[in-house]
Amino acid sequence: MASAIVIGEGKLAAVLTKILCSHGTPVALFGATKSTKESIESMLQDHVEKSFPLQFVDDLKHQKDMLFRLMENLRMTDDVSRLFGEVIVDATHGNTPLVRAVRRFVPDAPVMSLDGTATDEKTIGVHVYQPFDVTRIMQVVTSPKTDPDSLARVRTLLKNANVVELNKEEGVMAEKALDEWRSEGSAALRLQKLMNSIVPSRMVIKSNYSVMH
């Protein structure tokens, strides 16, 4: 099972961390505030409640047990020397000192940059299609100098979390669909149908955003 170090804070960092943890991927949060961790815990709680609605007497206990197991995948530290992970996720919006500090202690891990920029052969840029908690889609930005092993690790991380990678043609279609959705002010269900029409093989997302296969 792949593991990740998520650097930074904010909604995108929280949403991605929640998605990774809910699919069993261990995540170490670095450079985030306590409120970011609380936001992730709240999203995981919501995920558990919607995935396992209360129907029987023991369901509340099952919910608590599931949340506990998911939260075991998440740890938060400010001690860079205690970090470990197979992929570094850069959600810092350009806070390079934080990223450099982590890379010094985890030199073999590739960096997945959420702002789409790749500064070296082991940094893989990704374009995130917002709202990511609904779309669950990304486009990987590669270059001739991209390290194949680093790219494979990033793709494995995304695949394990059921995040769908788009090709260029699908990416153009997704941008148009998202622009249309925003201009119409449509509901999330409409967006889900648009995404499913672009990538027929993607997972089906219910109105409560839980993932079904």
Residue 106: name the closest of 30, 13, 158, 23 by CA.
Answer: 30
Interatomic CA distance for residues 72 and 53, integer angstroms = 21
> Is residue 13 scored above 70 in pLDDT?
yes
Q: Give the list of residues 6+ apart from residue 195 with CB closer than 8 angstroms, or none.
A: 134, 135, 137, 174, 177, 202, 205
pLDDT, tens digit, 9 for 90 and up, residues 24-83: 999 999 999 889 989 999 999 999 998 888 888 888 898 999 999 999 999 999 899 889
Structural domains for the chain: 4-165 (3.40.50.720), 168-212 (no CATH)
**What pLDDT does residue 208 have?**
37
> Is residue 203 scored above 50 in pLDDT?
no
**What pLDDT does residue 118 have?**
83
Residue 86: name the closest of 69, 111, 121, 123 by CA.
Answer: 111
**What pLDDT does residue 209 have?**
34
**What pLDDT does residue 194 have?**
74
> Is residue 206 scored above 60 in pLDDT?
no
- Report the pLDDT averaged over residues 183-204: 69
Regarding predicted confidence, which is higher, 190 or 76?
A: 76
CA dist list (Å): 157 to 19, 30, 129? 11, 18, 17
3-state SS string for 52-91: CCCCCCCHHHHHHHHHHHHHCCEEEECCHHHCCCCEEEEC
CA dist list (Å): 41 to 81, 128, 141, 178? 24, 22, 30, 28
Q: What's the N-to-C CA distance of the chain in angstroms? A: 20
- Report the pLDDT averaged over residues 89-111: 92
- Residues of the chain with pLDDT > 90: what percent? 55
Task: Find out whether 124 and 110 touch, Cβ atoms under 8 Å.
Answer: yes
Q: Three-state DSSP class for 203?
A: coil
> Is residue 161 scored above 90 in pLDDT?
yes
Interatomic CA distance for residues 207 and 195, integer angstroms = 13
